[in-house]
Structure 1
Amino acid sequence: MRVRHAVLLTTLGALCLGAAKPPQPIDLLIRGGTIYPGSGAPFVGDVAVSGDRIVAVGRRLSLPARRTIEAGGLIVAPGFIDPHTHAGAQLASDDAAVRLIPGFLMQGVTTAFIGNDGGGDPDVAGVLGRAATKPVGINYATYVGLDPVRKRVIGEGDRAPSADELARMKGLVAGAMCDGALGFSTGLFYAPQSFAAKEEIVALAREAGIRGGVYDSHLRDESSYSIGLAAAVDEALGVGREAHLPLNISHIKALGVDVHGQAPAIIAMVERARRAGQKVTADQYPWSASGTSLVASLVPVWAQDGGRSAMLRRFDDAAEMTRIRQGMIENLRRRGGADQLLITEGEHKGRTLAAVASARGEDPVAAAVAVIRVKDPAVASFNQTEADIAAFMRRPWVMTGSDASTGHPRAYGSFARKYSEYVVRRKVLSLRDFIHRSSTLTAETFGLAGRGRLAQGAFADIVVFDPGSFAARATYEQPTLLAQGVRSVVVNGVLAVDGGALTGAAAGRALAQTPPAGTCP
């Protein structure tokens, strides 16, 4: 049911106007806000909630309510849905406060996906089932990922699977899909996933496609590390076509000096595929810095064959290290130099690689190797241009995402920053487009039934925010500052944020996808 300019009076609302007996009060009435239903034009009106559902949306709902929130001057929208996060460890934490995921709730994010970049645990039943004993603050869904599937069967080596090994890997993906996974994810830039050929990926993705899943991919190359950005997009499109399932490109970008300005060409590739009938979307975070690790940024992938211990042995081999050093020098150039890599955890947290090198009296590559020998730290890599960011953001098939990870402000500020920076300040998007691409588009793309809209019968996932103050406070120096401007957040009918403060309610749910009939035992 679409919400339009016309007043929506549900059966419940109509009964309220003419019933002989006073109706039972609803649980929550959000009154007088500017409602952006997700699709359709905004209007000033009310949203009524009982239990975990929206029971009415309209211009004036004369309904008695146990609780009323006055939303005059505020925006009322579907709860935001983040299609790319690394919040799995937080959702599984033994600390109930951590499991609320405050950084998401205080931006209005009510649903998040985990298992991205190929990291999804094949034990999907366990991942989804733990919400029953460890209540969470937001809804979540999960992918099954190439990394654990490949490691479990092959290990970390650079080789193709045997026929028997491939069959076992396919079985892991199929089983995970039957247990409720969203689809199959890959992080082909990262070893050992980078050792998988396209044919292997197609075979595994097909198992997800048969069971109604999506292929979500961190491209093999977002820059010029190996096959190049355009070829990596072409590979992902090919996997989607050959495996017969929708493709979502993770955190779409043009990373590094060699590919700056290529956004229009990549957009053209995707839109040709879409015109030909292929289902292709992407998600994007609104930051010029990506989040990765120092090893992934600088160490050539061949030197990571066999895992960390093998890499460290190569560091100790003079001949190997000469070759590694040359590769690291080139990768540092791609990323814009040592002053564009900010270490975000560990001993050197808050310092650029250039600053660490200066303090040690070494060149940046030698300093990076010394740091990596102790631990591979997370880094923020400043590698994108605003022109490319805006070009991708304007496309109607690009959703808002965070790629939320430790040490990067995107975990605490992506949705808020996209609004304040790209809707209000830069005017790249309209408010209506921002809300649609942060909620409805994501729900429709991934088949989240009953979510992503403010409509009668939908789940009551709702955000109420102040359009004058909604903004990120998190910075690269202080990445865990909560966003400002969100007044209320409702998750499955329960107030998780009330008056701008967390209530402590853990009303989130694990969202299992249902495979088509006959595709699972």
Structure 2
Amino acid sequence: MRRLAVAVTAMLLSGAQEVPRADILIRGGTVATGDAAPFTGDVAIRGDRILAIGPRLDLPAARVIEAKGMLVAPGFIDPHTHAEGDLLATDAAARLVPQFLMQGVTTVMIGNDGGGAVDVGATLASAATRPVGVNYGAHVGFGAVRRAVLRDADRAPSPAELARMRSLVADAMCAGARGLSTGLFYAPQSFATIGEVVSVAAEAGRRGGIYDSHIRDESSYSIGLQAAIAEAIEIGRRASTPVNIAHIKALGVDVEGQAGAVIAQVEAAQAASQRVTADQYPWDASGTSLVAALVPRWAQDGGRGAMLARFDDAAAMARMRPEMIENLRRRGGAAKLLVTAGPEGTTGRTLAQIAAAMRSHPVDAAIAVIRRDDPAVASFNQSEADIAAFMVRPWVMTGSDASTGHPRTFGSFARKWRLYVRERRLIDTASFVRASAALAADTLRIEGRGRLVPGHYADIVVLDPRRYRERADYAQPRRLSEGVEWVLVNGRIAVARAKLTGVAAGRALPAKPTGGCA
């Protein structure tokens, strides 16, 4: 197909009259390829591929989409989501994932933050029998691997256990994983030493995978932000794998303003020929759980049951409560933690409001809530200056960290366009499209996607640049974005005239290991 597309383009440029018929012609839009400056032109699609691109394609087509005044771009690629629940669901409507399609996202990654299933092969095979709305790739999660071997224990693995962990990662990479993800901030992953992580990550590196990490500390909980960045870079260097820093940020009052220092660390590694990238969502509130935000890691040793038992242990609480108070200070106080999905009566309320209703200290209120369940929270703890500093770097791609209850799931790409391209003009159209498509394709080794190039898969978004915006907010986080008029996934129309068509044209995208597989 690529040879045909190149030949068609050459024929069009030479003025030849007999050219193949296109299935779809997108005509007269502002075309942003993912690399070059936007231009006014046409895009022709045949089957699941892009047939030709040019300022004016005199090409017969079965269907013409008029795109004058619209931005035509490669379908966006979200490098960091938690969309497993939807993509693997029995519910066909959930598997369409409209929250992504209505932003123009056509490919997502799952298995981030060390989560996801160890059996990556089964995860990728699901799309064959349960059609999905977007393409997806998967990482193998360090947390899932460690839990499979050590459960929730705070201890080092034995040589035999470490070998088992490495074997699980090797198997996952050979089954199509694109890398190893970690969430070293979270128990039980936080119990791992750098040597343990390097040993396991090396199995991904041997097979061409990346090391994608929610770093050990984005704030001042343990080793501190800059030391955690240094650790991620060191893991990549020692494991011989590219590094991607997940949802890069400076989180909390203790590290506000450190974006410049982090940028210098990353770019020093790049200058030393190391491949380091990052993804970022354009919101000032992060998303986590109340346990992760407040409960010390030592108190989570052994899992939820052991943690709850410590709440009833006077000696453990004498140690734990001051640490929880300090963690709350790091987060900016109880008014900065908004429950986005939790037990009845807590969702949509801040921890300060919950504590006031209980007439108790915020930490005591948090423990009372956690006893019922561990709620998802939005934590308002980033400065606009730090967000902007990261966003303009050429190695930072757009991502959502899509998770329950946070508006970033339904609005990250649209918000970035609306706020940082159209209103604040921090970045231009070409930079937005590159950060939202091409850079992720390069980082994750997703071949044939992320750019409008003849021969590439026809994952394409046509959006109204004046209307493209997020509608989701913290009060109504599940509102679909608006302004996307057309979306093609593998050449099939998934969104037409701003409406879902119900077509599930997505595919699983297993990576091809570069070596070390039978």
Change beyond 3 A, Cα 1:77–1:8: farther
Q: Deviations over 1:300-341 (max 9, x none)?
A: 111001000000000000111121111110000000000000
User: Which residue number corresponds to residue 338 of structure 1?
Assistant: 334
In the alignment, structure 1 residue 520 sits paired with structure 2 residue 511: no
User: Which residue number corresponds to residue 222 of structure 1?
Assistant: 218
User: Which residue number corresponds to residue 294 of structure 2?
Assistant: 298
Q: What is the identity, as a one-letter code, of the residue corresponding to 1:520?
A: C
Within 5 Å, which residues of 2 pair with 1:401-440? Answer: 401-440=399-438
Give the superposition deviation at 1:41: 1.5
User: Which residue number corresponds to residue 82 of structure 1?
Assistant: 78
Give the superposition deviation at 1:148: 1.1
Q: What is the identity, as a one-letter code, of the residue corresponding to 2:472?
A: A
Separation of aligned partners in 1, 2:76 and 2:357: 43
Separation of aligned partners in 1, 2:419 and 2:56: 33
The counterpart of 1:388, out of the listed 386, 391, 408, is 386
User: Which residue number corresponds to residue 17 of structure 2?
Assistant: 18
Secondary structure in structure 2 of the residue aligned to 1:460: coil
Q: Deviations over 1:409-440 (max 9, x none)?
A: 00000000000011111221111101111001
User: Which residue number corresponds to residue 440 of structure 2?
Assistant: 442
Separation of aligned partners in 2, 1:196 and 1:27: 53
Separation of aligned partners in 2, 1:490 and 1:8: 23
Change beyond 3 A, Cα 1:244–1:141: same
Give the superposition deviation at 1:25: 3.0
Give the superposition deviation at 1:120: 2.8
Secondary structure in structure 2 of the residue aligned to 1:439: helix
Please say if residues 22 and 61 of structure 2, whose CA atoms lie closer than 8 Å, have aligned partners that are also in contact. yes
Misfit runs of 4+, over 3 Å: 11-17
Give the superposition deviation at 1:14: 5.9
User: Which residue number corresponds to residue 286 of structure 1?
Assistant: 282
In the alignment, structure 1 residue 124 sits paired with structure 2 residue 123: no
Give the superposition deviation at 1:12: 5.7
In the alignment, structure 1 residue 511 sits paired with structure 2 residue 515: no
Secondary structure in structure 2 of the residue aligned to 1:256: coil
Please say if residues 8 and 20 of structure 2, whose CA atoms lie closer than 8 Å, have aligned partners that are also in contact. no
User: Which residue number corresponds to residue 30 of structure 1?
Assistant: 26
In the alignment, structure 1 residue 265 sits paired with structure 2 residue 261: yes
Q: What is the identity, as a one-letter code, of the residue corresponding to 1:195?
A: F
Give the superposition deviation at 1:505: 0.4
User: Which residue number corresponds to residue 311 of structure 1?
Assistant: 307
User: Which residue number corresponds to residue 470 of structure 1?
Assistant: 468
Q: What is the identity, as a one-letter code, of the residue corresponding to 2:176?
A: G
Separation of aligned partners in 2, 1:367 and 1:379: 14
Separation of aligned partners in 2, 1:105 and 1:299: 36
Separation of aligned partners in 1, 2:301 and 2:310: 10
Please say if residues 8 and 51 of structure 2, whose CA atoms lie closer than 8 Å, have aligned partners that are also in contact. no
Please say if residues 394 and 428 of structure 1, whose CA atoms lie closer than 8 Å, have aligned partners that are also in contact. yes
Q: What is the identity, as a one-letter code, of the residue corresponding to 1:375?
A: D
TM-score (norm. length: structure 1): 0.97
Separation of aligned partners in 2, 1:14 and 1:44: 16
Separation of aligned partners in 1, 2:83 and 2:133: 12
Within 5 Å, which residues of 2 pair with 1:50-69? Answer: 50-69=46-65
User: Which residue number corresponds to residue 96 of structure 1?
Assistant: 92
The counterpart of 2:395, out of the listed 394, 397, 401, is 397
User: Which residue number corresponds to residue 244 of structure 2?
Assistant: 248
Secondary structure in structure 2 of the residue aligned to 1:497: strand
Give the superposition deviation at 1:16: 8.0
Separation of aligned partners in 1, 2:472 and 2:14: 47
Q: What is the identity, as a one-letter code, of the residue corresponding to 1:462?
A: I
User: Which residue number corresponds to residue 481 of structure 2?
Assistant: 483
Q: What is the identity, as a one-letter code, of the residue corresponding to 1:209?
A: G
Q: What is the identity, as a one-letter code, of the residue corresponding to 1:95?
A: D
Please say if residues 465 and 485 of structure 1, whose CA atoms lie closer than 8 Å, have aligned partners that are also in contact. yes
Q: What is the identity, as a one-letter code, of the residue corresponding to 2:158?
A: S
Give the superposition deviation at 1:24: 5.3
The counterpart of 2:187, out of the listed 173, 191, 211, is 191
Separation of aligned partners in 2, 1:34 and 1:345: 40
Q: What is the identity, as a one-letter code, of the residue corresponding to 1:54?
A: I
Separation of aligned partners in 1, 2:15 and 2:118: 49
Change beyond 3 A, Cα 1:8–1:489: farther
Please say if residues 8 and 58 of structure 1, whose CA atoms lie closer than 8 Å, have aligned partners that are also in contact. no
Q: What is the identity, as a one-letter code, of the residue corresponding to 1:475?
A: D
Separation of aligned partners in 1, 2:463 and 2:266: 33
The counterpart of 1:459, out of the listed 426, 445, 457, is 457
Q: What is the identity, as a one-letter code, of the residue corresponding to 1:344?
A: T
Separation of aligned partners in 1, 2:441 and 2:421: 21
Separation of aligned partners in 2, 1:243 and 1:25: 49
Please say if residues 17 and 62 of structure 1, whose CA atoms lie closer than 8 Å, have aligned partners that are also in contact. no
Give the superposition deviation at 1:194: 0.2
Q: Which runs of 5+ in 2 are unaligned?
A: none
Identity across matched positions, percent: 63
- Residues matched between the structures, number: 513
Please say if residues 409 and 476 of structure 1, whose CA atoms lie closer than 8 Å, have aligned partners that are also in contact. yes
User: Which residue number corresponds to residue 129 of structure 2?
Assistant: 133
Q: What is the identity, as a one-letter code, of the residue corresponding to 1:280?
A: V
Separation of aligned partners in 2, 1:339 and 1:15: 65
The counterpart of 1:274, out of the listed 256, 270, 287, is 270
Within 5 Å, which residues of 2 pair with 1:156-171? Answer: 156-171=152-167
Please say if residues 16 and 63 of structure 1, whose CA atoms lie closer than 8 Å, have aligned partners that are also in contact. no
Separation of aligned partners in 2, 1:159 and 1:439: 40
Secondary structure in structure 1 of the residue aligned to 2:144: helix
Please say if residues 12 and 56 of structure 1, whose CA atoms lie closer than 8 Å, have aligned partners that are also in contact. no
Secondary structure in structure 2 of the residue aligned to 1:27: strand
Deviates more, 1:320-329 or 1:80-89: 320-329
Give the superposition deviation at 1:17: 4.0
Separation of aligned partners in 1, 2:392 and 2:444: 20
Please say if residues 8 and 56 of structure 1, whose CA atoms lie closer than 8 Å, have aligned partners that are also in contact. no
Separation of aligned partners in 2, 1:66 and 1:479: 39
Q: What is the identity, as a one-letter code, of the residue corresponding to 1:191?
A: A
Name the Cα RMSD after superposition.
1.5
Give the superposition deviation at 1:238: 0.4
User: Which residue number corresponds to residue 204 of structure 1?
Assistant: 200
Q: Which runs of 5+ in 1 are unaligned?
A: none
User: Which residue number corresponds to residue 146 of structure 2?
Assistant: 150
Separation of aligned partners in 2, 1:474 and 1:506: 24
Change beyond 3 A, Cα 1:8–1:362: farther
Give the superposition deviation at 1:63: 1.2
Please say if residues 27 and 50 of structure 1, whose CA atoms lie closer than 8 Å, have aligned partners that are also in contact. yes
